[in-house]
Structure 1
C-alpha cells in the first residue's frame, strides 16, 4: 500500500512538472507555426487520433486549415499535411525536407532493440531488396503467381469448404501470412505459420496504441508477441543459413537473399524480416476484407467480376494454375479492388520527420517536428471523387483518371510502396479463386467499422457462404 501511494505521488509530481513545462514551451512557439491545438500535457491529442483518425483529421481541417495544421501526437510536436498539393509537396521533397519516422510504439514493435536514431525505413529497405534481388519486380513475380494460386486454393479449401459461415478478416490474415512466410521466409510448415499468425495479430493491435508497457495494455501484449516473433525469426534465419552453407538451400526467398548477401547477422536479418512481414501482412489482409464487404453488398459488381474470371478459366486447361498473362486480363477485378482501397485504404497514412525547417501554405515548420499525411483528405474528397462514400468501381474503368496525388493508397515518390505489385497479384489470385466458387453476404450488414489508422469491421466480417454450382 505504501509503495502504491509513493508511486501515485511520483506520478502526480511528474504530471505537474510536465504540465508547466508544456505551458512554458507552448508560450514560446514560433508565431508562424500552422494553426492547431496541442491538447493535453504528454498525451497531446493522441487519444482522439487513435480512436478515429479520419474524423480527427476532418474535424481539424474544418477548424484550423484545409492545408496544414499542428497537433501533438505520441509525445511529438507534429503537423498534418492535407490535400493533393500537400501530398505533392511531401512526396517531391523526400530526403530534402523529410525522412522516415515511426512513433515509439511502432518503432519498438518493428525494430526491437535497435537504437531510435537508426531510422527504419521499410519502403526504402524493401526497395533495396527489390533492386538487389529483383524479388518484388513484376518480371520476377511472374515465377510466383502459380505458387500463390496453389497456396490460396489450398487455404480456401481448408477454411471455406463445408462451412456456411466464416469470419473473413481472420481468414485473410492467415492466408496473407502463409504467403508471406513462403515467399519472404521460405517456410511452409502450417504449425509454424499458425504460431506466427497468432503473434502478429497481437503486434498489429499494438502498432498504433499508446506506448504504455504495463500488463493489460495492447502495447504490453504486442511487445511480448514481437519478442516471440523475433526469436522464431532468428531460428528460421539460422536454419536457412545452415542450408546455404551446406549447399542444400533451394528456395528463392528474401531470407535467403539476405543471407547470401553476407552483410548482416542473424539478429539483424530477423529484424529486417520482421519489418517486411508487418508491411506486407496487414495492408493486404485489410484490402481482402473490405473487398469482401463491398462486393458482398453489390450483386451487380459480383457478377461482372465473375464473368471476367470465368472467361480466364475457360482459356486454361483443367487444374492449370494462374499465370502473369491471366493477371493482365483482370482489369475490372482490379478496378473493384482499387475502389475498395479508395473507400477503405489499407492504411490511412504514414509519418515523416522534418530534417530541415520548411515552409508550406504560408506557414513554417521547424526542423525536428514530425509530419503525418493521410490518403483520406483526397480519396474521400468530393472535389476529386463525386459521391465519395459510394462504392463505384467504374471510376477506375472510365474517363481520364484522377488528378495527380489524389489516389495514393500506396503512397508516391521515392517511398512509394515497393510491394504494390506483390499485393496486386496476391489479391487478384484471391479474387479469382473466391468468386468462381462462392457467393456471400455479410451476417451483419450494419457491422461497425472501428479503429484509427487501420479501420476494420468490428467483428471480423462474418459472412454466409453459398457455394456456386460449377
Structure 2
C-alpha cells in the first residue's frame, strides 16, 4: 500500500495548501453565483451571503433582535435584499406591495416553507402545507368552525375559563403571565377543537399511563408542550435531543387522537367542534383519512395556542408600562361590568364594546409579530414581480417591516393604541397573514384575548415583579423571565 513519505515535502505542502484553496474557490464561486443569479436578465436584489454558503448570515441574523438585523440590512440595500439564512438563499423584504403579492400568489407560484422539524411534527397533511383546491377545502372547514357564528355560543366557556384563572390568582401575590396565558390558550384550543373538556374517553388512559398530569386534559397539554418545544430543533431523532422528545410526545398525542376519532366515526358522539368538521365530507364529497385529521388537529391546537399566548404576554407588559392607558382600560371594562349581574357571563355583544382593548391588542400585534422572525414562502418556479426577481427554490422572507414604517405609523416605536381609531391603509397591517393564508382562527384569538383582559382588568391591578429582562425571539418572541407580575385585587 502506498504511503506519503516525509521525504516528499512538495506533496505534503500541496495537500495542506491545495485542499483549503479548492474549498475557498468553491465557496467564492458559490457566493458569486448567488449574487449574479438572474431571471429574464434581471438580477436578484443586492445583499450579502457571506463566504460560507450553508451558514450565510444565520449567526448574524439569529443572535440579535430581528429588527436590528433588518434595519441594518435595509439601510445598506433598501426594502428588499438578498441573504442566506438557515441554509437557504432568500430575498428578505419589508415592502408592502411585494408582501401583498406573495401572499396572493401563495398556492399558485409559492409554497409555504417552515423548518423541517416543524414539517415533521405538524404532519405532512397539515393545512399549513396544503396547496390548491385541497387547501381551500380545508380552509373552509377551519373557517366555518372558527367563525363568529360558531364562537358566539362558545363565548361563555371562554369566559368561565378566564374567570377561573383570575380566581386562582386571588391566592397568589405573584404570577407568571406567560405560563398562565399559555395554559389558558391551550385549554381553550383543546376544548373548541376536540371538545376534550366535555367528553370522556376512558379507553385512552393506558396511553397516558406514564405522562405527567392529574387528568386527561393536563396530559394532553403536557404532550403538546413537548411537541412545540421541538418545532425549531435540528430534526435528529436521537435520545437526548429536543426533536426526539417532541417526536415521542407526537406519537402519544396521535394515539390519543386516534381513540377520539374512532369513537367519533361511530356516530355515537356528536360535538359542535372542529373535529366534527374534519370528520365530515369536504366540499367535494371526499373524506379525510385518520392521518389527515390528526395532522390538522395538531396544527389547529398549536396555532390557536401560540397567537393568543404571545399577544397576551406583550399586551400585559405594555399596559403595565403605560399607567394612563391602564386606567382607561379599567374604566372601559368597569363600565361593561356594571351592566352585568353578579356572576353573569360575558356575551359576544359585551366583547364588541371593548374598543380601546381591541385597539390595544392591535397595537400589540403591530409591534410584536407573534409568528417570529419572518413568514417564509418558496418560489415553485422563476417568478418576477415588477423589478424584483425570485429564482425557483429561493425563499421570500416577509418581515412585515411595514408595521414599523413611519409613512404608515407615525412614531412607529411608540406604543399608542389610539392610532387604531382609524384603521391603517390596506395591506399595511397583517398580523394574521393575508389572502388565502389569512389565519382562520383570528376571531377566536380576539375573543379569547379580550375576555382574558376583561377579567384581569376588572379583578386586579398589577406591576412588574422583577426588572425587565431580555427578549427571546425564537421559537416565538417572549420575555426570558416569562413576565412575572405582582397582582393586587381590586376592591
Decide: shared fold, TM above 0.5. yes
**Contact 1:306-1:435 within 8 A present in 2 as well:** yes
Paired positions, count: 444
Counterpart of 1:170?
179
Q: Is 1:283 aligned with 2:307?
A: yes
Equivalent-residue separation in structure 1 for 2:106 and 2:290 (angstroms): 31
Which residue, 37, 40, 44 being the options, matches 2:48?
Answer: 37
Change (3 A) 1:76 1:314: same
Distance across 2 between alignment mates of 1:119 and 1:437 = 42
1:208–1:453 CA contact under 8 A, matched in 2: yes
Change (3 A) 1:166 1:49: same
The whole-number CA distance in structure 1 between the counterparts of 2:75 and 2:184 is 40
Is 2:449 the partner of 1:437? no
**Which residue of 1 is the match for residue 208 of structure 2?**
none
CA distance in 2, matches of 1:436, 1:17: 68
Q: Give runs of aligned pairs for residues 28-67 of structure 1, distance below 5 A.
A: 28=33, 29-30=36-37, 32-39=43-50, 40-51=52-63, 52-66=65-79
Aligned counterpart, 1:365: 390
Confirm whether residue 144 of structure 1 aligns to residue 154 of structure 2: yes
Looking at structure 2, the residues matched to 350 and 199 of structure 1 have their Cα atoms a distance apart, in angstroms, of 26
| Corresponding residue of 1:258 | 278
Offset of 1:240 from its aligned partner?
Answer: 4.0
CA 1:258 to 1:438, structure 2 compared with 1: closer, same or farther past 3 Å? Answer: same
Distance in 1 (alpha carbons) for counterparts of 2:70 and 2:249: 35
Task: Kindly report which structure 2 residues correspond to 1:3-42, keeping only aligned pairs within 5 A, or say none.
Answer: 22-28=27-33, 29-30=36-37, 32-39=43-50, 40-42=52-54
**Counterpart position of 1:196:** 220
- Structure 2 match to 1:408: 430
Give the aligned partner of residue 4 of structure 2: none
Structure 1: state its 5+ residue gaps.
1-13
Shift of 1:187: 0.6
> What is the alpha-carbon distance in structure 1 between the residues aligned to residue 480 and residue 326 of structure 2?
24
RMSD over aligned CA atoms reads 2.9
Q: Matched residues in 1 for 2:231 and 2:142: separation? A: 29
SS of the equivalent of 2:423 reads coil
Instruction: Go from structure 1 to structure 2 and tell me whether the alpha carbon gap of 1:240 and 1:207 turns closer, same or farther (over 3 Å shift).
Output: closer
Residue matched to 1:423: 445
Shift of 1:191: 2.9
Bigger mean CA deviation after superposition, 428-437 or 43-52 = 43-52
Is the 1:181–1:187 Cα contact (8 Å) retained in structure 2?
Answer: yes
| 3-state SS of paired residue (2:318) | helix
Once the two structures are TM-superposed, the CA of residue 27 in structure 1 deviates from its matched residue by: 3.5
Alignment deviations for residues 90-137 of structure 1 (CA, whole Å, 9 cap, x no partner): 2333334322222323212322xx499x93479x85973544772111
After TM superposition, list the pairs within 5 Å mapping 1:317-396 onto structure 2.
Answer: 317-348=341-372, 349-360=374-385, 362-375=387-400, 377-396=401-420
The correspondence of residues 296-315 of structure 1 with structure 2, limited to 5 A, is: 296-315=320-339
What secondary structure sits across from 2:44 in the alignment? coil
Unaligned runs of 5+ in 2: 1-18, 201-213
TM-score, normalised with respect to structure 2: 0.82
Distance 1:199 1:187 in 2: 14
SS at match of 2:84: strand
Give the Å deviation of 1:319. 1.8
The CA distance in 2 between the partners of 1:132 and 1:166, in whole Å, is 33
2:180 matched to 1:155? no
CA distance in 1: counterparts of 2:235 and 2:24, whole angstroms: 19
Give the Cα–Cα distance (whole angstroms) in 2 for the partners of residues 250 and 280 of structure 1.
Answer: 22
User: Once the 2 structures are TM-superposed, how far is the Cα of residue 144 of structure 1 from its aligned partner?
Assistant: 0.8
The CA deviation string for residues 152-171 of structure 1, in whole angstroms up to 9 with x for no partner, is 2223323x121000111011
Q: Does 1:91 align with 2:103?
A: yes
Partners of 1:326 and 1:193 lie apart in 2 by: 29
How far did residue 213 of structure 1 move?
5.3
Paired with 1:434 and 1:33, the residues of 2 have a C-alpha distance of: 50
TM-score by length of 1: 0.86
Q: Is the 8 A contact 2:304 2:441 kept in 1?
A: yes
